[in-house]
Amino acid sequence: MYVKIRQDGALGIGRGTEGSAEITLGYGEAHMVAAALEKLAQTARSYKQEYLKTTDVGGGNKITFDRADDGTISISGDKNTYICTEPEIRELAEKLKHLPPVEVAPPSDYVKKITPSDGMCLVVTNGGNSIKLRLPEAAIVKTSIKSSIDSRFFDEIVTVGQRKIAVSRSSDLKWQLSGEGTNVRFTAYEIEALVAGLHNGILDVLMDVVKGFGADDVSDIRVKSQLKRVEQDATDIFGEDKNAKGLVRDITKRAKKIIGIDEFADERANKFIDMCNHVYANMNTEYIEPLFNLFSKVFVAQA
């Protein structure tokens, strides 16, 4: 089993994967997980323990340690399961107990959450220049940059109403975001951190909304109220479109997976980005701006 400290400061543990299928935990949780692994190795059979994460990293909120009646050991988390030998478990525990010291920085030095104003809730900054983004714009820009990473040359203008944000790659080492009369440049050594920063910035904004629903007896009612707003506003947006009912149903269903009470934290950001990509890539362009305006209100906690 490998252990790695990711660019966003979280830890990844896995085997036979480049990272798309690994168990993720916070750097500060390493010692607690190591203790659970040691307990797992010491128990001969019929043992099960669940560790609830204290951070929002990964696609799940718990890690399960299990030893079956026949002595088989498995650890599961973030929809991944690894069957391990007892020596592997002890070795993994030792690795987690002796990680190199790191300064756990924000997810990215290039993306910051700001107090929402006119829908702007994130700012991309580098080299003294900055561009403010609305949440749906951040989702589309992230997708655009990820597409550019596999290219030698890339040029796209993300257009939402009167807003235009250009994403370009002019060489192997140079990227540029342009908008509002400002150019923000990035190198190949910075671009992955920008992608991670956009993703985690989106998640951070979404979690502010989710936390605003609270954890009391009426939190579910607050969520349903917000989903009703999505349904009503989407109905107005699609108007007389012959497919209006199906479009409204689809947007409402997607919204529920983003702000629903029982959804996994990291999946909320993925689902939001998927929804924005779907609107931007597949829907009639007349719907893009009003839907993105709706998303900027519903999925952003208003100051």
- Tell me the per-residue pLDDT of 94-132, one tens digit each, with 9 for 90 and over: 999 998 876 534 546 899 999 999 999 999 999 899 999
Backbone angles phi, psi at 302, to 5 degrees: -75, 140
Tokens read off for 135: 């949440």
Give the per-residue pLDDT at 105: 40
How many Å apart are CA 259 and CA 224, to the nearest integer? 10
- Per-residue pLDDT band for 139 (boundaries 50, 70, 90) equals very high
* Residue 24 contacts residue 10 (beta carbons within 8 Å): yes
Write b or e for each residue in 232-260: b if 16 or more Cβ atoms lie within 10 A of its Cβ, otherwise e.
ebbeebbeeeeeeeebbeebbebbbbbbb
pLDDT digits (tens, 9 = 90+) for 235-253: 999 999 999 999 999 999 9
In the chain the first and final C-alpha atoms are separated, in Å, by: 44
**At how many degrees (to 10) do helices 285-298 and 135-149 cross?**
120
How many Å apart are CA 300 and CA 205, to the nearest integer? 6
Measure Cα distances from 110 to 39, 203, 225, 273 in Å: 40, 15, 35, 19
Torsion angle, CA of 104/169/273/246, rounded to 10 degrees?
Answer: 180
Give the per-residue pLDDT at 104: 39
- 18-22, 70-74, 121-125, 282-286: least confidently modelled range: 18-22
pLDDT digits (tens, 9 = 90+) for 184-241: 999 887 888 899 899 999 999 999 898 888 767 778 899 999 999 999 999 999 999 9
Give the number of other CB atoms < 10 A from CB of residue 6.
Answer: 15
Q: Three-state DSSP class for 43?
A: coil
